[in-house]
Amino acid sequence: MAIRSCAIFNWQKMQRRRRSWKHIGTCLNCAREAAFPGWFRRIVLKHCDRLIRGKPLASVPLQAAEGWASQESDQAQAVEQREMKDKVLEAIDSLPDHERDAVMLYYISGHSQKEVGEFLDVPVTTVKKRLFSAEALA
């Protein structure tokens, strides 16, 4: 019964989120939409696990939480970081296809140069040259 109520609660939560995402329609939300099933499954499993193990969800009165500092830096710094990220992604998008692929795999996805070379079916020296050329253009 507890698992059923937990699943129903999370299903309703999922439906509310999906409705709000449909109104926005940005690329970022498309990525969130694709990640949604895994996220939902994880939430349901965690809630069910808490119910089965009998661990109560930790809660703090609102008055006690007033003095806690925010996990994020101040708003101006957050905006600046977002703008910098947008500029970097814009610069990456302006690269030629072969260099963009190497940069995305190496810097964004975090693969080694050897792995990038194997994936693109080119020697490691070619990957190094593409990364060097991309840095020079940026």
Residues 6+ apart with CB under 8 A from 92: 100, 103, 104, 108, 134
CA atoms within 13 A on the CB side of 96: 9
Query: Model-level pTM?
Result: 0.44
Residue 37 belongs to some domain of the structure: yes
Residues 97 and 50 in one domain: no
Can you read off the two tokens belonging to residue 133?
């050329």
Q: For residue 3, how far is the Cα from the chain centroid?
A: 28
Note down pLDDT in tens along the chain; length 138 residues. Answer: 455 565 666 666 666 665 554 544 444 455 566 777 777 778 777 777 777 777 666 777 777 777 676 666 677 888 888 899 888 888 888 888 888 888 888 988 888 999 999 988 999 999 999 999 888 876
Please give the pLDDT value at position 83: 92
Residue 70 belongs to some domain of the structure: no
Say if CB 121 and CB 100 are below 8 A apart: no
Residues 81 and 52 in one domain: no
Residues 84 and 117 in one domain: yes
Please give the pLDDT value at position 2: 54
Give the number of domains in the chain: 2
Residues 101 and 51 in one domain: no
Residues 88 and 39 in one domain: no
Domain that holds residue 93: 77-137
